[in-house]
Amino acid sequence: MMKKTTLLTAASLVLAGAAYADSDETIRIPINEWTGQHISAHITGTLFEKAGYTVEYVTAGAVPQFAAIAQGDLDLQPETWTNNVGDIYPKAVDSGDIVVVGGLGLQPQEGWIYPPYMAEKCPGLPSYEALYDCAQAFASADTFPNGRLITYPADWGTRSKDVVAQIGIPFAPVAGGSEGAMIAEAKAAVAAGDPILMMFWQPHWLFAENDFDWVAWDAADGECVEESGQTRGSACGFQQASIDKIANKDMASKWPGAAAIYEAMSIDNATQNTLMLEIDQKGRDLEEVVAEWIDANEATWMPWVEAGKAAMQ
């Protein structure tokens, strides 16, 4: 399914002082399966529109999109999680069909989270080593004397369960029923001041509404290999992703102004967390929330749009 955006009126662009598009060919941006990516895509597209470009949003799977970008059927992806790219992406980067433009600015993190008040009940946190001695502080009636660890839903894999088994930590992994169920349990625990240890990730709107700390692991020698080789005293926890902006190899030559905007733009965790909260938790419309952010943050994004203008001079 495709959705074509409405190009801003010429009058509004003139007032913004930013219209300079070097091509009337449509820039096609994929829309993946999660709200954060929708935000990144629509901020990117709106900035292109500010410069006079036409933008089209195209629904595409997070892994299948890479073949389309490499072939030029899609033009860019502002939010590429490097730990979820499949086999085509690295080959397309190596061949030069896909260009890594740079980091988006988001700082992704996956691991175990807990409410700050648990540090009093488990001295030594955030180090994972503390969990060996205070597992009972995180126990439930079903897991006592072991602590209770809420993991990702079963169909998301067994990453936490595998780490628990490798390092022999006295916790019982309990699969969350769904993202929504995990969030509901986390919020209920915080509201009641109850213990909770849960596998989670950011950026996520949960962190715009609640305070959580992250369990700290031993430094990895290179990239963390979470599937094997972890032991107590040498446990890196979980492999961390980076989030990159990527584009088809021809983007810079077809739309040099848009390419310069794209290279300059960035989005941080706080921004995305806040916008996700408005959309996912408060039920607001994505385009309305993005437009509101654009209206309130001209000082942030105008230099990016001006960078595109400068690239054409």
What pLDDT does residue 48 have? 97
Kindly report, residue by residue over 30-40, the tens digit of the pLDDT. Answer: 999 899 999 99
State the Cα–Cα distance between residues 56 and 62, nearest whole angstrom.
17
Extract the residue ranges of the chain whose pLDDT is less than 70.
1-19
State the Cα–Cα distance between residues 25 and 23, nearest whole angstrom.
5
β-pairing, 171-175 with 147-151?
parallel
17 DSSP β-pair partners: none
Establish whether the linkage from the previous residue to 108 is cis, with ω within 30° of 0: no
What pLDDT does residue 261 have? 98
What pLDDT does residue 1 have? 33
Pick the CATH number of 109-214 from 3.20.20.220, 3.40.190.100, 2.40.160.210, 3.50.50.60: 3.40.190.100
- pTM score, two decimals? 0.82
What pLDDT does residue 155 have? 86
Fold of 2-107+243-311: D-Maltodextrin-Binding Protein; domain 2 (3.40.190)
Specify whether the CB–CB gap between 151 and 160 falls below 8 A. Answer: yes
What pLDDT does residue 11 have? 32
What pLDDT does residue 19 have? 66
Could you tell me the residue ranges of all domains in the chain?
Answer: 2-107+243-311, 109-214
Helix, strand, coil percent content, the chain, rounded in steps of 5? 40, 20, 40
Judge if 2-107+243-311 and 109-214 fold alike in CATH terms.
yes
